[in-house]
């Protein structure tokens, strides 16, 4: 088997069906194409809807639907699918992971597979993500003290001064990068068999950053592949795109888990301070210039409260999985 795909669904069955349709189109031409749909304990009829849909002979038994029976987050859902693939012969050479609210542009998957096959040091690859809003994402640097300050300051002069620390980058050609978006990523199955699964201590957000860092530590590289583009609605199941909603607790947990896990609590606290100072610059600039900006409710207060209450503590684990 050349490539198998995993899509994790949480209460977005119609979008998931659309995503599977585009992935199967891209898998045409590969040997024995398979898609694993993991329903992350939606409990809204999603599992039944997906199971009934993909049981239709029109799908040619290419799609398997699994009920995870626990909403352990994005990485947890991916791991459920990976474990099934690794337990079933033949094991695919590569595993492709895509969000349920995404769709593949023509030729994107083949470009990623061909790039990975041509680069034996590639353990993880991704491509350009484009959104209906016009926003684009390509690749990223690992988060850092100055990167956190620049990201929240959102000021041109700061971005110019710290251009080598800006987290989001826009390569003009395929190249090695620190990490790629979890919206669309191709993983060499040799890595997953090592085994190197996603850290289930992350519920949502930062799990792909953590994974890419561990990919590098294991001696592999992460690449951005030019021309491998995927469309993405974004936050369809979480509602995170709505700036009028408070930031959920799992974002604070995931962010802190990443910094403390990889850099220790002192550096984590310093990055919290950088985030707070950068956000203060942004708020001050917006008010000074009288710009109409929608500030996420209680974000500054919640961030400071979480930072202070967890100061110098070990890396937190996702509350949803802490007892498992």
Q: Is 104 helix (H, G, I), strand (E, B) or coil?
A: strand
Gap between the Cα atoms of 288 and 220, Å rounded: 47
Give pLDDT, residue 238.
59
| Dihedral sign from CA coordinates of 49, 54, 58, 59 | positive
Q: Domain spans of the chain?
A: 3-148+169-232
CATH classification of 3-148+169-232, choosing from 3.40.50.720, 3.90.550.10, 1.10.540.10, 3.20.20.370?
Answer: 3.90.550.10
Q: Which two tokens stand for residue 207?
A: 């799990």
This prediction has a pTM of 0.95
* Residue 304 burial (C-beta neighbours within 10 Å; 0-12, 13-18, 19+): middle
Closest to 224 measured CA to CA, from 169, 277, 180:
180
| Dihedral sign from CA coordinates of 196, 186, 79, 36 | negative
The string of DSSP codes covering 108-148 is HHHHHHHHHHH-TTEEEEE--EE-TTS-EE-EEPPP-HHHH
Q: Which two tokens stand for residue 257?
A: 């888990």
Q: How many residues does the chain have?
A: 324
Closest to 187 measured CA to CA, from 78, 38, 64, 33:
78
Give pLDDT, residue 245.
87
Give pLDDT, residue 67.
97
Mean pLDDT in each 10-residue stretch from start to end of the chain (324 residues)? Answer: 93 96 95 95 96 96 96 97 93 96 96 97 98 93 98 95 96 98 97 94 97 98 97 70 84 97 97 97 89 86 96 88 68
Gap between the Cα atoms of 40 and 9, Å rounded: 6
């Amino acid at each position: 088997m050349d490539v198998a795909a995993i899509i994790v669904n949480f209460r977005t069955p119609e979008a998931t069906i659309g995503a599977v349709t585009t992935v199967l189109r891209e898998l045409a031409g590969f040997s024995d194409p398979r898609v694993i749909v993991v329903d992350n304990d939606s409990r809204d009829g999603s599992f039944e809807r997906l199971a009934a849909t993909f049981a239709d002979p029109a799908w040619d038994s290419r799609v398997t639907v699994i009920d995870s029976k626990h909403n352990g987050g994005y990485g947890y859902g991916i791991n459920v699918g990976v474990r099934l693939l690794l337990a079933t012969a033949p094991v695919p050479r590569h595993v492709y992971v895509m969000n349920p609210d995404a769709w593949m542009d023509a030729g994107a998957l083949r470009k990623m597979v061909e790039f990975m096959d041509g680069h034996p040091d590639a353990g993880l690859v991704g491509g350009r993500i484009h959104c209906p809003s016009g926003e684009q994402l390509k690749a990223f640097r690992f988060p850092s003290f100055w990167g956190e300050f620049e990201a929240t300051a959102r000021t041109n002069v700061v971005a110019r001064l710290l251009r080598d620390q800006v987290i989001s980058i826009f390569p003009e050609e395929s190249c090695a990068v620190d990490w790629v978006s979890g919206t669309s990523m191709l993983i060499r199955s040799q890595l997953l068999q090592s085994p190197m699964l996603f850290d289930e201590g992350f519920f949502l957000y930062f799990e792909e950053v953590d994974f890419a860092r561990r990919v590098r530590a294991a001696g592999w590289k992460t690449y951005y592949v030019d021309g491998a583009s995927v469309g993405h609605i974004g936050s369809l199941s979480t509602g995170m795109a709505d700036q009028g909603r408070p930031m959920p607790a799992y974002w604070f947990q995931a962010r802190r888990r990443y910094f403390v896990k990889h850099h220790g609590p002192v550096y984590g606290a310093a990055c919290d301070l950088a985030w707070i100072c950068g956000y203060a610059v942004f708020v001050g600039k917006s008010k000074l210039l009288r710009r109409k900006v929608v500030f996420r409710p209680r974000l500054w207060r919640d961030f400071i409260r979480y930072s202070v209450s967890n100061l110098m503590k070990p890396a937190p684990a996702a509350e949803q999985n802490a007892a498992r």
